A and B are shown apart, each in its own frame.
Chain A
Amino acid sequence: MMAILKRELSSYFTSPIGYVFLAVFYFFSGLFFYSVLYSNTTDITYVFSGLFTVLLFIVPLLTMRLLSEEKKQKTDQLLLTAPVSLTGLVMGKFLAALCMYAIALSVTVVYALILAGFASPEWMVVIGNIFGALLLGAALISIGLFISSMTENQMIAAVGSFAVMMFILMMDSFATMLPAAFSFVGTLLQSLSFMTRYTELTTGILNIGTVLFFVSVAVVFNFLTVRVLEKRRWS
């Protein structure tokens, strides 16, 4: 698992993908941070709530080639015949993307420190925000990884992930648009809303239910990814 994690992490930096991801992330978070500074506040929440939409668009960059490219280049033959369990393999990939994401996210610590230079921010809110963003990232990455495991074309994986991410973004508005007869679907969608839960985290409310929700999403999709790989050997 460590070997896979290390290789994936270094491959982010030997291809443009890692840099594009970091550049886009830094650009938007910088923009949001600028507006925080501009509005003369130490409330960093705006940076994180703004990042929600950005993340939905750039997380597929991290995950699109994780498994699809292995299949295409036939390097999965190396991984699947090595003495590594499928769970270890998927976790290696997942953690590599999560590490990359954490590297990007670490810039917000710098922002918080800059703010601290002016006046002390509410540290618990800052920590809660960073923690929430990590949870959201873990959930989104596991979804992207799952989609990547189902195809051997990284473009299809990317487009598929974008579609799912868009759906996650618009889930709440879909829920309100549904006709009365389908209100139960609306309730279901609302109860699965990523946005409401994440917004709640960014306001500094650390709800165990919310934490469990994101962790469960990550666990479920990583589990499904393992199943997809397992199924491929049996078909």
Chain B
Amino acid sequence: MIEVKNLTKVYGDKRAVDGISFTVNQGEILGFLGPNGAGKSTTMNILTGYISSSSGEARIGEFDILENPLEAKRRIGYLPEHPPLYLDMTVQAYLEFVYQLKKVRMPMKPHIDDVCRRVKITNVQNRIIKNLSKGYRQRVGLAQALLGNPDVLILDEPTVGLDPKQIIEIRSLIKTLGERHTVILSSHILSEVQAVCDRVIVINKGKLVADDTADHLSHALTQDFRYIARIEGPEAEVEKLLSSLPGMESVECHGMKEEGVYEYTLEAQKDTDIRRNLFARLAERNWPLLGLKTTELTLEDIFLRLTSDQPVDMDEPDNGPMPDPREVPLENRAEHAVVSLDESAVEEAEAAEAAEKSTENGGGEV
């Protein structure tokens, strides 16, 4: 349904999107994951024909977005990062305008009412958009994208600014939309992408760093042999026992968390499952295991991991589509060389980006 080949967008000397290729099949929900400034919105803007690519092609169905823009755009519903709303119009007037703008052929009133019902804005249909809350505005934006029942829905961070209840509603709405439409949705929230998408594409610095099903990806990424355990018992002895477990790499104690209960970080060797053994040995000594969880990977970890030198341990190694140096056009090679020479600077930037990210998420994202 959507085919993107070697898409590149250059702003001055910055490559906002750098040779991205992927395809999306009919009825698939594809997640775009990436930090801010990774090129998600740029890619979406190119796909929808808002801006043009510097090179490469994007096709919606059989129509190229540059060669046959009107036909391609007719098949797309787009919710940009900022919903494009005319604040001085009522919701109804706005949707009627979009309906006419998109030259929808379905009967107007029932169609608009139907879309409003689906995104649950029927109760604000006659209110002026200026007076609506962020969550409602986002939904009006979504309604606008749904008008005309386009084959392809492109949603740029559709749940930003919504409260948790609305987020769940919108997610389940998107899931149901996936039955009728092909959906691309971007997000910087991993759990959201996992919850909604069949397949995930990870973008960083304009490059595609992973393309896999959500399950595979999260499996590959969370196959982490690190646990946090809470164990009741004398600290030194427990630590000694833990260290003696077969396959244990390192043990670190974080001190007392409850009366007589200590918390430890356990790191096992790869491909060793220490959990059963751990339980058995603790049970022998009658030291209750009060909690055991795998360390949760934050989005920052995942990006650092995906963008670090070590390849991600994918189930199918071929699936990690790092750009093949042979495929990179000559003029780009020089730049790749520069990038790799300047690794420390890149990492610095990455850390800064991650920091920015975490403050943003802390700022009441969910």
Contacts and interface: CB of A to CB of B under 8 A. Distances in A.
Interface stretch (A76-84, A152-160, A213-221): A76-84
A41 interface: no
Contacts, number: 71
A15 to B, nearest CB: 6
Interface stretch (A6-14, A162-170, A192-200): A6-14
A77 B101 contact: no
Interface in B84-116: 84-89, 93, 97-98, 100-103
Contacts of A77: 45, 50, 78, 80, 82, 84
B161 interface: no
Interface string A53-83: 0000000000000000000011111111111
A1 B61 CA distance: 25
B52 interface: yes
Interface residues of B, number: 30
Contact of A3 (B69, B89, B97): B97
B8 interface: no
B144 interface: yes
A75 B94 CA distance: 12
Interface string A191-209: 0000000000000000000
A81 B76 contact: yes
A10 B94 CA distance: 12
Tier of interface size on chain A: 20 to 34
A82 B102 contact: yes
Contact of A85 (B48, B50, B70, B102): B70
Contacts of A74: 80, 82, 84
A141 interface: no
B84 A78 contact: yes
Given A77-B78, A78-B98, A233-B52, A83 B85 contact: no
Nearest to A11: B88
A6 B45 CA distance: 26
B74 interface: yes
A109 interface: no
A80 B50 contact: yes
B51 interface: yes
Interface of B: 11, 45, 48-52, 69-71, 73-74, 76, 78, 80, 82, 84-89, 93, 97-98, 100-103, 144
24 contacts: A2-B100, A3-B100, A6-B97, A6-B100, A10-B93, A73-B84, A73-B85, A76-B84, A77-B78, A77-B82, A77-B84, A78-B78, A78-B101, A79-B84, A81-B48, A81-B50, A81-B73, A81-B76, A82-B101, A83-B71, A83-B102, A233-B51, A233-B52, A234-B51
